[in-house]
Amino acid sequence: MKNEPERLKVVDIVKNYLAVSGFDGLFNVFCSCRIDDLASCGHIENCRAGYLQPNGTIGPELTLRCPCCKAVVDKDDAECLECGAVWD
**C-beta separation of 20 from 32 below 8 A:** no
Q: pLDDT (tens digit, 9 = 90+) per residue, 9-33?
A: 888 999 999 999 999 999 998 899 9
pTM for this one? 0.70
3-state class (DSSP) for residue 10: helix
- CA 7 to CA 5: how far, in whole Å? 6
Q: pLDDT (tens digit, 9 = 90+) per residue, 50-83?
A: 998 888 899 998 777 887 887 888 777 778 888 8
